[in-house]
Structure 1
Amino acid sequence: MGANSRMTIAVHVLTWMSLDRHDNEVATSERIAGSVNTNPVVIRRCLGDLRRAGLVQSKRGAGAGWTLAREPEEITLREVYRAVGGGGLFGMHYTTPNADCPIGFGIQPALQRVYSGLEEQMEEELSRTTVAEVLRSVLAQQR
């Protein structure tokens, strides 16, 4: 089982766009995909989610591409998490557990209470960090 990387890719995209915005060029999915090292289709899907959340905007015609809809200092990681669908930290069983089993009967409600609390704590933490802060941290890692 692998972790869902949609959040990480979305933060990468927005952080890359934050750095790139100073050259007054719009970002293309191909250019962003080069940084993420993935297919541009993956980036376009991500950008679609981010556009629906009001975090990026697209430009058509000459100079077509993507730009940030707001300043990086105004975009929290919580907004990014919600834009890509969140999905929770942990998923439940793929199939419904055996309701005749004493554990199978109550495992999902018991775990859901725990997971909900963790989700709230995580979102609270994500709300404290902006894309601009991620960019600063990334740039501090430069060799």
Structure 2
Amino acid sequence: MKISSRFTVAAHMLALISFDDYGNLTSRQIADSVNTNPVVIRRLMIKLKEAEFIDVSQGNSGIELVKPLRDITLFDVYKAVEVVEERELFQIHEDTNIKCVVGANIQMVLEVILENAQTAMESVLKNVTLENIVSKIIEYDKR
């Protein structure tokens, strides 16, 4: 099971936008950095704009952050671009054989464990800001 790449692409986009001092970054330039199609970038830009992280202007003015990096957590980005609902990161198979001891009980056992796993993952994401990410990018670039 994997979370879609929308999450990491959106984080990449926001970090890249933060490096643009002139506010004239285009979806094509972002797509070149991510190595994807500009259409993918534009679709994510809509979600990031709806989340009030960016503003997108037509023409040459480009894309700009409207929220400070320190105020955007990875959890915020995750929620903005993913469609995973609370307690639904993991899908448990249904219609098991209730005449089998495992089939009758596996869903209840796994449900609690997987809810805890989702909560733990979300807790980690809530404690990392995009400012932290950009700082690490700068640190890694100096190596």
The answer to whether the superposition gives a TM-score over 0.5 is: yes
Match of 1:41 in 2: 39
Measured at CA, do residues 39 and 111 of structure 1 come closer, stay the same or move farther in structure 2, by a change above 3 Å?
Answer: same
1:70 corresponds to 2:75:
no
How much is the aligned-residue C-alpha RMSD, in angstroms?
2.3
Match of 1:25 in 2: 23
Given that residues 92 and 108 in structure 1 are in contact (C-alpha distance below 8 angstroms), is that contact kept between their aligned partners in structure 2? no
Match of 1:130 in 2: 129
Once residues 132 and 39 of structure 1 are traced to their aligned partners in structure 2, the CA distance between those partners, rounded to angstroms, is 26
Query: What is the TM-score normalised by the length of structure 2?
Result: 0.82
Once residues 39 and 136 of structure 2 are traced to their aligned partners in structure 1, the CA distance between those partners, rounded to angstroms, is 27
Secondary structure at 1:31 match in 2: helix
Identity of aligned residues (%): 32
TM-fit CA distance, 1:90: 4.7
TM-fit CA distance, 1:138: 0.8
Gaps of 5+ in 2: none
Once residues 88 and 25 of structure 2 are traced to their aligned partners in structure 1, the CA distance between those partners, rounded to angstroms, is 30
Given that residues 76 and 131 in structure 1 are in contact (C-alpha distance below 8 angstroms), is that contact kept between their aligned partners in structure 2? yes
Secondary structure at 2:94 match in 1: coil
Question: Which stretches of structure 1, 4 residues or more, deviate above 3 A after TM superposition?
Answer: 99-102
Secondary structure at 1:25 match in 2: coil
Given that residues 56 and 69 in structure 1 are in contact (C-alpha distance below 8 angstroms), is that contact kept between their aligned partners in structure 2? yes
Measured at CA, do residues 72 and 115 of structure 1 come closer, stay the same or move farther in structure 2, by a change above 3 Å?
Answer: same
Measured at CA, do residues 6 and 106 of structure 1 come closer, stay the same or move farther in structure 2, by a change above 3 Å?
Answer: farther
Alpha-carbon displacement from aligned partner over 1:45-94 (angstroms, at most 9, x marks no partner): 2111211211112112x32532112111211111011111252785315x
Once residues 14 and 53 of structure 1 are traced to their aligned partners in structure 2, the CA distance between those partners, rounded to angstroms, is 12
| Structure 1 stretch displaced more, 29-38 or 112-121 | 112-121
Query: What is the TM-score normalised by the length of structure 1?
Result: 0.82
1:82 corresponds to 2:95:
no
